[in-house]
Amino acid sequence: MTLPIFSASDDPGPSFAELLRRTGGATPVPEIDSKDRLEITHGTTVVAVRYVDGVVMAGDRRATSGNLISHRTMDKVYAADRHSGVAIAGAAGPAMDMVKLFQLQLEHYEKVEGSELSLEGKANQLSGMVRSNLPAAMQGLVVVPLFAGYDTRRKQGRLFQYDVTGGRYEETNFATTGSGSLHAGTVIKLGYRDTLNREETIDLAISALFNAADEDSATGGPDLVRGIYPTMATITDRGFEKVTEPEIAERFRLLVDRLSTTESTTTSGTAPTLRGGDVR
């Protein structure tokens, strides 16, 4: 590889995506609708919840291709840099590539410019990436991420959600995306309080993912047999920190214990009659 040197008028600046385009490494957009030809692997539900010290991000582990479970241990919550994280839902391949590019873009900017982007700037960068994925999204390769971080200038956690067109929406309390996001969002909405601490927020996120998995077949619940649990991370002034697996497992165990002793989940009365649904 030769050294990429540009003339002053032709310089791509601190943008890695632009550099990639100049050097011919950008991913081509598919020309035909991929939905007609093949089953794309999809990642599903991720959530982000703000609390007093920052943000908790969590995601289930399931990846599906149509009705099949194609992967049981996919990680959907990634560190974007020291003080921010990104969680993905949608077509798994392009989503993982987007994360990789995004992480690289933040680091590339920091190295070229000698200073970090502001949190707002990072959120806008990701917005641009989602927007540039729009042609691929029209062909079935939809990627919808969540972005959250600790704003070291404002001293608080902030979170952003996106739409397919790159629209960027800053949320104050929580954000969800993916196929189970409706159910997960409702659970968080009902349980959210301004004063949540770290443990309570983790419990809330766990409960949200559990209920999403309960209602949405594409979202994976805790797999007690194989010991696979959702991945979680906290982002505070100390930076992006993964919540350890033993801690998540313990929290899930407590939730399951709680649920199995309450009446709400026990079926009472006569057996439920079949109401429509996808009975095959």
Partner 1 sequence: MSMPFYVAPEQVMKDRADYARKGIARGRALIAVRYDEGILIVAENPSNTLRKVSEIYDRIAFAGVGRYSEFEQLRIAGVRHADLKGYSFSREDVDARGLANAYAQILNQVFTHEIKPLEVEILVAEVGSPDGGSTDQLFHILYDGTVMDEDHYSVLGGEADAITERIEATWRDGMNLGEGITVAVAALSGEERALSADDLEVAILSRTLERRAFRRIEGDELAALAPVAEEPAAPAAE
Place of tokens 């697996």: 245
- Count the Cβ atoms, other than its own, within 10 Å of residue 31: 8
- Residue 129 contacts partner 1 per CB under 8 A: no
- Residue 16 contacts partner 1 per CB under 8 A: yes
- DSSP output for 86-137: EEEEEEHHHHHHHHHHHHHHHHHHHHHHSSPPPHHHHHHHHHHHHHHTHHHH
Q: Give 19 or 188: the residue with its C-beta nearer to partner 1.
A: 19
- Out of 46, 101, 148, 159, the only residue in the binding site for partner 1 (CB under 8 A) is 101
Q: Is 44 one of the annotated active-site residues of the chain?
A: yes
How many helices (H) and strands (E) the chain has is answered by: 8, 13
- Out of 31, 32, 67, 114, the only residue in the binding site for partner 1 (CB under 8 A) is 114
- Out of 21, 23, 154, 253, the only residue in the binding site for partner 1 (CB under 8 A) is 23
Q: Give 8 or 279: the residue with its C-beta nearer to partner 1.
A: 8
Alpha carbon 242 to its chain's center? 14
- Out of 68, 104, 138, 254, the only residue in the binding site for partner 1 (CB under 8 A) is 104
* Nearest CA among 77, 42, 46, 47 for reference residue 63: 42
* Piece in contact with partner 1 (CB under 8 A), picked from 98-106, 139-147, 178-186, 268-276: 98-106
* Site for partner 1, rule CB under 8 A: 1-5, 16, 19-20, 23, 25, 100-101, 104, 107-108, 111-112, 114
**Catalytic residue ranges:** 44
